[in-house]
Structure 1
């Protein structure tokens, strides 16, 4: 019935047994033990992508948890309408409820397939799915601290001894595996519960959390007595992989969400600083530069004096009244350089040393 699962599982186990059998020997218990461990790791590696989708789906469901509670309160007496509204809400947020439980659903047939393969290793068997008769004998004679991988604690004594094992050796190997697998199951469930949003907690959620935290680990501890040692190795390695995978993927997703929040916060800050539609952007006011005093030069031309005086006033010295000199002094020629642009040779009423320049209006020394 499950041959479509049993053959692929047996093929993966066959490949890993060939690898480790070449190192430790084909009948070595270590080779078969590592083959089962790496069979588990191979299956879980294939399921990494569905597991990531499961985590993201759970995160999205936590985001719209308040809306779910409103629907539950509104349609608490109409379960059909509640299911329809829940389906509509999940489709709006792009959440597939099947995606959150897909990895667990895929592991169940693998578990039963491996159980069928391991229980198919029986004496005088001509084959076991992908394994031949010699490989069946190799598995049956694989010794692991005095126990055989096909042995289990609740096994009949005559069947146990026919395989070459004894109860004391089986308990010595099985009991630690059962305890460690139970503890690993508890911590895996505890890590999942710690990631849940308290806002989404309901009465059903609390019951399921208690079941996964305590009932499942206790079930491994109790029913492990009916599991072959090879299947206990699978259960233990599966829980160890799950615990490490959860820690790494949750850490990566948390980092991605923090980066997205930082980018969104930066966008909101920039949008608040940007001007609104139709609003003229404000520009910073410029302070007026203080005016610098402009000093007039005696050698400046009239044009330059007029241009500078149009911008800033030029301070002029008050003109003094000319003193009257004797008439003989008026006949003297003015000093060189006192000629103006109009060509006049002297200014009447002034001596040469008291004459002024028409350009600057200042007395010459």
Structure 2
């Protein structure tokens, strides 16, 4: 059923066994252990891009964590509406919630595929996917401190003896691997929890954190007794890779975000006014005269004119005055003409300029 996973996994293991078998010998337990470890590293290297996307997706979700908190408070009694609003918010920010789970989801079939391949090494097998009969016998006889890679603590004593192992040797090899793998699982989960934003913490998040911090490591410690030694080696190598990868990727992304913040501050300081400098006032544009529009009467087709104002004040025209030259006599005022009225006298009683007598 999982042949589409089993064949690629067995091919990668076959390639690495050829490499290390040429150095340590085909039946050496070290060659097979290194082959399993580097199989793990190869798979995780293929998944490094989805892991980086997962980290960036988590960072984006932390940016709009307050909005998520508001939605959780607003729709705490309506889970369907909350799911719809959360999906809408994630699409607005370009965040795919499945992106954070993709690396873990892809590792699950690899784990089951390797388990199937390692359990395929048994007595009487004529082949195991990419491995031939001689390579199956090479794996079965690989010795690791008196234990075989196919042995596990809960294995039946008769089957363990047929493979050439004994319970004491199997416990001596399996128990340290189980403890180290359990501790590595705990520290991997602890590193992930430490990167979470407390603003987005909910009751469900707290439960999941406790499960990943304590239940998963305890599960490795308990159920490791049912895992072949080869599978424990894979689990330990996977956790070691995860710890190193998280440290390097998180450090790289933190440095990139710090550089972006510094660049944004420098840009803001460059565009802003210097210390002590008055902010420049925007220049006022002169008022543009409104264009004259000819309005026409729709019925007659004649142009409408604005009514003339009743009174217009005209600015007085200044009179030209010439100052007298030095030494010149001032000019006499012009005499009144005959038609000019003299105040206090009627026209018939005005005096004659020559005689000075009053006219009758």
User: TM-score scaled by structure 1?
Assistant: 0.75
2:282 to 273, 279, 284: 279
1: distance between equivalents of 2:179 and 2:153?
14
Pairs within 5 Å for 1:43-58: 43-58=43-58
1: distance between equivalents of 2:189 and 2:171?
27
- CA drift at 1:62: 0.7
Matched positions, count = 281
Counterpart for residue 167 of structure 1: 167
* Cα shift readout 1:74-125 (whole Å, capped 9, x = no counterpart): 1122222211111110011110000001000000000000000000001110
- CA drift at 1:265: 1.3
Tell me the SS of whatever aligns to 1:176. helix
Runs of 4+ in 1 over 3 A off after TM superposition: 274-278
2:123 is aligned with 1:120: no
Structure 1: tracts of 5 or more residues without a match: 281-365
Tell me the SS of whatever aligns to 1:17. helix
Counterpart for residue 109 of structure 1: 109
* Cα shift readout 1:286-307 (whole Å, capped 9, x = no counterpart): xxxxxxxxxxxxxxxxxxxxxx
- CA drift at 1:190: 0.8
- CA drift at 1:221: 0.5
* Cα shift readout 1:206-227 (whole Å, capped 9, x = no counterpart): 1111111111111100000000
How much is the aligned-residue C-alpha RMSD, in angstroms? Answer: 1.5
2: distance between equivalents of 1:276 and 1:132?
81
2:259 is aligned with 1:259: yes
Counterpart for residue 326 of structure 1: none
Structure 2: tracts of 5 or more residues without a match: 284-360
* Cα shift readout 1:21-61 (whole Å, capped 9, x = no counterpart): 00111000000000000000000000110000000000000
Tell me the SS of whatever aligns to 2:272. helix
Pairs within 5 Å for 1:61-140: 61-140=61-140
Tell me the SS of whatever aligns to 1:241. helix
Counterpart for residue 200 of structure 1: 200
1: distance between equivalents of 2:70 and 2:270?
34
- CA drift at 1:269: 2.1
- CA drift at 1:273: 2.1
Counterpart for residue 229 of structure 1: 229
2: distance between equivalents of 1:138 and 1:273?
76
Contact 2:273 2:279 in 1 (8 A): no
